[in-house]
Structure 1
Amino acid sequence: MQTQKLSLKHYIIIGSMLFGMFFGAGNLIFPIHLGQLAGGHWLTAGWGFLLTGTILPLLGIIAISVTRSSGIYDLAKPIGKRYATTFMILTCATLGPLFATPRTATTPFQIGIASHVSASQAPLYLLIYSLLFFSFTYWASRKPTGIIDTIGKLLNPTFLILLALIFGLAFTHPLGTAGTARVTVAYQGGAFLNGFLQGYNTMDALAALLFGIAVVTTIRGLGQKEPKAVAQTAAKSSLLSISLEAMIYLGLIWLGATSLSHFKLSTDGGIAFSQIANALMGVPGEIILAIMATLTCLTTAVGLTTSFSEALHAKFPKISYRAWNRLSCGASLLIANIGLDQIIAWSTPMLMFLYPLAITLIILAIASPLFHNDPAVYRWTTALTLIPAVLDALGAAPAIITHLGWVQQLLAWDDRYLPLAKLGLDWALPALIGLMIGLSWHVIQQGLAARDYKMNRN
């Protein structure tokens, strides 16, 4: 099987495509908001954020490369076909028309337009904006093979130039001193862990599992045919993408912390970013920010829609890629019009449920050569992660759910018996116990098999 050797230019193009697919709505607003919450502890919180916002997505791409999976279903398949199908559908729905894709339209609208129209006019303007937004998304994602041209060569450079302009002004004319900014109560003693959990909101670890299909398709289209070469190219390209993303995250977190000298703590990063842009450049700054936010969110919308459609078409081939694409764009248009705050409120419990399962799956996939991809290790770890993940989802749900009596009883039991429950990490110890049980089972089975083989030979 012949393989085309790729140049540095090819790696940069693939990395640029990955950056455009990863860096979207949440990647702009959540680091800014984190910086305002953490204040003087912005760097500590930033390291926690980078762990889930950059390192984990990189590991996700590596996991797909190591296992040579074609996507999220193949990656989860050792746990069981039904589980893999369910996990894939939930992840696709979260990253697709339920939460992440609608957020790509509502975030730039919130940043660039909402503050300039009245509350009564906002729904109409949001409808018009989201209609145009998802019309372009549908056009750009109608052919999966064209995604590299749409994202890597067109939208990314424009976005990076505009972001560099804002950073340049912020660094040369800082709004304040980040190190002395006030720190909210939650971040006075738990900045790192809170930053870690804030990284969930980017959804990038889940996106890494879904984007694997688009990455593999693009790399093969550039002439890489041999599976090992495809895996190595994916890992190297994703490292370039994630490194750039990490630098931008730290800059945005710092920017949020410095803004506290001029502004009060905002309800979300979109409002804060608009205020910062206005303080640095006036109305032109807000216009630049609106264009920048629209561009970066368009790149992510195209990547999410393409990956959603390809993943579900591969699993359910009777429904065409184009039909899944229409479903994603149409449903995203409808849900976007309920507003950013509602989307974030209802996406949080789903992320608290899916992220522990994604983290353990990524770690297991990377380590799978050590235990010969034994399904028992996957199943024990996942089974003991599942229960606390459900409890985390209930605890992060809107008040209409958390105020239910039976939910409060479950959460009280969770706080009492599972360590780190109040920090949203109650799944960590059960997952570790499940891993130890699975590995022990694997070692015992290997020992029995070796003994039987030896006896049969004798």
Structure 2
Amino acid sequence: MEEIEQDVNTKPLTWKQYLVVASLLFGLFFGAGNLIFPIHLGQLSGANWGIATFGFLVTAVLLPLLAVLAISASHAKGVYDIGRPLGNIFALVFMVLIHLTLGPLFATPRTASISFSVGLQPVLPKSAAKPALLIFSAIFFILAFIISYKQSTILTSIGKILNPLFLLLLFSIFLLAAISPMGAAKNQSVTAAYQSAPFFNGFLEGYNTMDALAGLAFGYTIVSAVRQLGKTSAKSNAKVTARAGVIATSAIGIIYIGLIWVGATTLNHFKISAEGGTVFNQIVTYYLGNFGHALLATLVTLTCLTTAVGLIAAFAQDFHRSFNKISYHGWLTIMTLVSFITANFGLDTIIAWSTPMLMFLYPIAMVLIILSISSSLFDRDPIVYFWGIVFTFIPAILDMVASFPAVISQKPWALQLRSIQSRFLPFADIGMDWVIPAVIGLAIGFIIHFYKKAKIN
């Protein structure tokens, strides 16, 4: 059994080894959305950036850490195991939806499209944008495929090479912004949404990073990397993963605070952009001119490439375990090709269609993460999972419909659902209408579980 398996390496890991694993986690988590969405949040929240930051950190830092801990605590080997208490069909569907979202439909194509739109598109004529994106995304995904091809090279490639380069580039920007800020963040204007509910809007903005979903998907990759260091028993593997996760997510949280603050200081100079990529380019160009733009292109490409590598590898690993007629390298090839095709639809289209899926998946993922971490309290009883997810599922579906682009959300039937949602579900106007139903469902599940347990005893 895995629980009683002895470690190949019985010695405690050194701080250097912990930092290598943390660096892997950092590189896998921090990518495209992690650059543009915090800056965008800073612009939207203005003087209320501090309160909005707390909300953002819950879903963009704390929740991803809890996702990694859920994998460790439940000894899961992937997304599938997290959903398995609800049955194999649910587990399979949940795994497929998570990986399609993180994979070829949204997150992975976004890594290439953001790299292009922030780094190269501003210096190209509009007529050259589409063919240039085609060439850029082809090169981008070829590199990601090569790095991902041998699973044993992922730790070295990401943790030891790309991350230090990325950190050097990023903190050079922070240093310049601190020495000569563009304005006082506390004096900036605040958009309407962030005047009334800055915390909850920051909370929802954190969905866009997709890191909680990524934490579930990356779990097996991290566990495998720790096993390479000789920590092969379930208990010690989980302990190492948890400690490295705290280091990595703490570093990411510090960077988020810096990015949000920088975004809030820009409002005296730049208009609020549709997404943070545009203003990030404006910030760096403001401080460093043409050299700054080249620096930004390098920065964004490196961070996005590290994320793409992790997403592609995790997708291939989980799908090979569930659909093993196709090899790991076969799934790797499929993932890379489909992501390349989707990336060429453009960044705006990808973001517009990813939001509904996130509004549906995030509440369900949050409930599953909490249940996985606390499963020892209720003996991993499927009845608790069932009632918690059933009550979360309905408002999550309604939030998904309401957040679709107008081609769907403005249909008469969708508007009717929105009216019902607003009338009967508290907090629907801020996208938090799933919370009370989830608590009720979990309470029902716990009551049934402990009633059955007391009856048996």
Aligning the two structures, in what range does the TM-score lie when normalised by the shorter sequence? over 0.9
Matches within 5 A, 1:66-77: 66-77=73-84
The one of 2, 7, 26 aligned to 1:2: 7
Q: Quick one: which of 119, 123, 127 aligns to 2:130? A: 123
Could you list the per-position Cα deviations for residues 171-214 of structure 1 after superposition, in whole angstroms to 9, with x for gaps in the alignment?
00111110101100110111100000000000000000000010
2:360 aligned with 1:353: yes
Q: Which residue, 340, 344, 359 being the options, matches 1:333?
A: 340
Give the whole-Å Cα distance in 1 for the aligned partners of 2:255 and 2:7: 38
Aligned to 1:380: 387
Correspondence for 2:49: 42
1:13 partner letter: V
3-state SS, counterpart of residue 18 of structure 1: helix
> Any idea what SS the aligned residue of 2:127 has?
coil
Divergent runs of 4+, >2 A: none
The one of 82, 88, 91 equivalent to 1:84 is: 91
Which residue in the other structure is 1:165 paired with? 172
Match of 1:320? 327
Post-superposition CA distance 1:395-439 (Å, at most 9, x none):
110000011111111111000000011111111111001000000
Separation in structure 2 between the aligned mates of residue 283 and residue 46 of structure 1, nearest angstrom:
31
1:404 paired with 2:418, answer no
Q: Give me the whole-angstrom Cα distance separating, in 1, the residues matched to 2:387 and 2:31.
A: 35
Matched, 1:210 2:217: yes
Return the match for 2:102 from 88, 95, 108: 95
Instruction: Give 1:358's aligned amino acid.
Output: A
Distance, in Å, in 1 between the alignment partners of 2:289 and 2:93 is 48
- Is 1:57 the equivalent of 2:64? yes
Note if 1:446 corresponds to 2:449. Answer: no
Unaligned runs of 5+ in 1: 451-458
1:428 to 435, 449, 453: 435
Secondary structure of 2:101's counterpart equals: helix
Partners of 2:42 and 2:121 lie apart in 1 by 23
2:29 is aligned to 22
- Give the Cα separation in 2 of the matches to 1:104 and 1:292: 12
Check whether the contact 1:22–1:204 (CA below 8 A) recurs between aligned residues. yes
Q: In structure 1, how many angstroms separate the alpha carbons of the residues matched to 2:82 and 2:416?
A: 35
1:186 aligns with 2:193: yes
What SS is found at the alignment partner of 1:282? helix
In the alignment, the residues of structure 2 paired with residue 414 and residue 397 of structure 1 have an alpha-carbon distance, to the nearest angstrom, of: 15
Offset of 1:2 from its aligned partner? 3.2
- Rounded Cα–Cα distance in structure 2 between residues aligned with 1:225 and 1:83: 29
Residue of 274, 291, 300 corresponding to 1:293: 300
**In the alignment, what sits opposite 1:258?**
265
Task: Note the aligned Cα RMSD (angstroms).
Answer: 0.7
Cα contact 1:52–1:196 (8 A) shared by 2: yes
- Pick aligned residue for 1:304 from 296, 311, 314: 311
| 8 Å Cα contact 1:145/1:217 also seen in 2 | no
In the alignment, the residues of structure 1 paired with residue 226 and residue 251 of structure 2 have an alpha-carbon distance, to the nearest angstrom, of 20
Deviation at 1:75, TM superposition (A): 1.1
Secondary structure in 2 matching 1:350: helix
Q: 1:298-352: per-residue Cα shift (whole Å, max 9, x none)?
A: 0000000000000100111111001110111100100000000000000000000
- Aligned residue for 2:235? 228
Provide the C-alpha distance between the structure 2 equivalents of 1:44 and 1:218, rounded to a whole number of angstroms.
Answer: 36
The one-letter amino acid paired with 1:180 is N
Partner of 1:453: none
Aligned with residue 417 of structure 1, among 403, 424, 435 = 424
| Cα distance in structure 1, aligned partners of 2:139 and 2:359 | 32
Distance 1:26 1:133 in 2: 17
The residue type equivalent to 1:257 in the other structure is: A
Distance across 2 between alignment mates of 1:404 and 1:265: 29
CA distance in 2, matches of 1:63, 1:220: 18
Q: Which residue of 2 aligns with 1:454?
A: none
SS at match of 2:380: coil
Normalising by structure 1, report the TM-score: 0.98
Seq. identity, %: 49
| Secondary structure of 2:374's aligned partner | helix
Superposed CA offset, 1:76-121 (max 9, x none): 1001111010000000000001000000001111111111112111
Q: 1:455 matched to which residue of 2?
A: none
Q: Is the 8 A contact 1:33 1:256 kept in 2?
A: yes
User: For 1:344-385, what per-residue CA distance to the aligned partner results, in whole angstroms no more than 9, with x for missing partners?
Assistant: 000000000000000000011111111111110001000110
Question: Where does residue 3 of structure 2 map in the other structure?
Answer: none
Unaligned segments of structure 2, at least 5 residues: 1-5
Confirm whether residue 195 of structure 1 aligns to residue 202 of structure 2. yes
SS where residue 230 of structure 2 aligns? coil
